[in-house]
Amino acid sequence: MQLHQENNRSVSGQSTINYAHYHCGTYALGPGYRSVLWVQGCPRNCAGCISKKWAEEKVANEASPQELAYLLLQDPQITGITISGGEPLLQATQLIELVCECRKHKDVDLICYTGFTFEEIVSDQTHPERAQFLQYLDVLIDGPYKEELDDERGLRGSSNQRVIFLTNRLKEYEFEANSRKVEISKEGVEELLMVGLPSKSINEFLAKRLKDFQ
């Protein structure tokens, strides 16, 4: 699973993050008021993936960790950051830089989704930076999305995925039992952004409403 994102370096030698989108300010993807970063590129091709466009292995938007930290923390009310994708761990080195940069300015909590399992990450000798990245996270939601195991519960996509508390910081928050919520925000003139994990009924409702608008 080699992707071009690994060890992204610009001509100037500064590292860059290849990201699909970011959103500053949501209550839909974890406790508190959060920013979300969706990285670009994932090789898994899970059936039912809700971010197929962002899983495409291509360069989408590029920014340095410093630039992205600024964008993610631009609202002073932000208390945490959720990183999703795409597959975040393919850019673990750059994401470590991002997290360090964010925490220089604010002690935000961190949640990260990955299609790798925890065991795969910590036993991977060829990519030690992935296990290193875990040291910065409060919660890891691990494993590939399996549509047939999507029980519409909480912040994990399917029941094979685990909410792993890597620190005690977010332990009080109910990640699995809460019902799902999504927020729709208008991005630019023509685009709508859905933040959160939709239930099937929300997905169907949105698909119908979008058809009505076409």
The binding site for ligand SF4 (CB under 6 A) comprises: 42, 44-46, 49, 51, 55, 85-87, 115, 144-145
Considering beta carbons, is residue 18 or 51 the nearer one to ligand SF4?
A: 51
Considering beta carbons, is residue 30 or 78 the nearer one to ligand SF4?
A: 30
**Alpha-carbon distance 11 to 97, whole Å?**
18
Least distance from ligand SF4 to the Cβ atom of residue 46, Å: 3
Least distance from ligand SF4 to the Cβ atom of residue 147, Å: 9
Instruction: Give the three-state DSSP class for 78.
Output: coil
Least distance from ligand SF4 to the Cβ atom of residue 200, Å: 15
Considering beta carbons, is residue 41 or 64 the nearer one to ligand SF4?
A: 41
**Alpha-carbon distance 163 to 155, whole Å?**
8
**Alpha-carbon distance 27 to 181, whole Å?**
9
Please name which of 190, 188, 141, 136 lies closest in space to residue 167, comparing C-alpha atoms: 136
Least distance from ligand SF4 to the Cβ atom of residue 105, Å: 28
Backbone angles phi, psi at 101, to 5 degrees: -65, -45
Considering beta carbons, is residue 31 or 86 the nearer one to ligand SF4?
A: 86
**Alpha-carbon distance 206 to 194, whole Å?**
10
Instruction: Give the three-state DSSP class for 202.
Output: helix
Considering beta carbons, is residue 67 or 176 the nearer one to ligand SF4?
A: 176
Least distance from ligand SF4 to the Cβ atom of residue 97, Å: 22
Least distance from ligand SF4 to the Cβ atom of residue 45, Å: 5
The continuous run of DSSP H or E covering 211 comes out as helix 200-213
Considering beta carbons, is residue 100 or 149 the nearer one to ligand SF4?
A: 149
Q: How far is CA 70 from CA 35, 74, 92, 181, in A?
A: 11, 6, 19, 27
